[in-house]
Structure 1
Amino acid sequence: MGQQAIAAVINLYAVAIDSHSWDLFDEIFAPDVELDYCHVLRWSDLASFKRDFAEMHEPTRGHQHFLGVPQIVSEGDRAWALTYGRFNLFRESPAAEPFDMSEGGAWYDDELALTDAGWRITRRTARNFWWRGSLPEQGPYPMVVDSFPELARAGEIGFINALRRLGVPATIREPAE
């Protein structure tokens, strides 16, 4: 049940952000959450994150986030999850100009805690694998932003660090004969 509850918390993020339902972030993140989005945008509390995300996303015409199945390891009342995602963001509709739409692939490296209110993300590191169409000076072609293998080798992916420390979850091991 723990992994299902954790996955539900993580997956609610796409619904919350795409519907601009900023109040749903209260069901996803701890009040004192630490967030690092792409090395540039950082927050250390939920209230400022909600305020700033609303300011950034409300002017857009629409966006859509797709999240993959989170990979989860847990130890007691703590858990780590890695979730791949993809996003499309429309500044104008129809997207007639090259930079009216951005798209990209990303991952979310989350640390969660079991609180009285349920599982909540206490730390999130979001990184882009690639994107295109974000800013005119970046050009129209996809570009790699963060190298997942390099960051994993450098010990900068919390989920992989936890996986190595705690071992492969029993749920994905082959049963013993």
Structure 2
Amino acid sequence: MGIDHGTNYAGWATMKRGTPSSFGLRDYSKISMPDVLDAIYQDSYKLIKREQPDIVVLERPVHFKNANSVLALVGAYSMVTLAALHLGKRIEGIRPTELKMQTGKGNADKETVAAEMMMLFDLDYDQIAVPVLYKANKGKNKIGDVKERLFDPSDAIALCWAYHQKYINGA
């Protein structure tokens, strides 16, 4: 199971024999610190218990924009780690560079990773790069236009794939 942890959104995915079997997106955007950390722990615990993975793969937090990013990312990482430990699951870390290398390019952005996962596994782009739509007309943008995308599910699938490639296939 790969979990792309975050304090606003988190993606998760499970993979069996090198193929994604399920994935999704968790929304924590309306929960403030520090309460969001408890929500992440509780949610991760229930998700890991339900999916019963052998291994939980997380992206190791390695770079931060500011002190708030440190608190948020390390806090989310710690809550997911704690939930996995409490359920007796093995935890593996993947560095962001390893993740990007396994998707074909060492400098891949989130859009490229999502496109690679979509093509590799014949997935619906809107399900793994979830669109957030405009709810009101704003400038050139109309109601229903894509405002941004949440790449957390595609990142979670990529975490599973990177682990599979590195440790199972030995690539």
- TM-score exceeds 0.5: no
TM-score normalised by the chain length of structure 1: 0.26
Higher relative contact order (CA 8 A, sep 6+): 2
TM-score normalised by the chain length of structure 2: 0.27
Q: Which is greater in Rg?
A: 1
Bigger helix share: 2
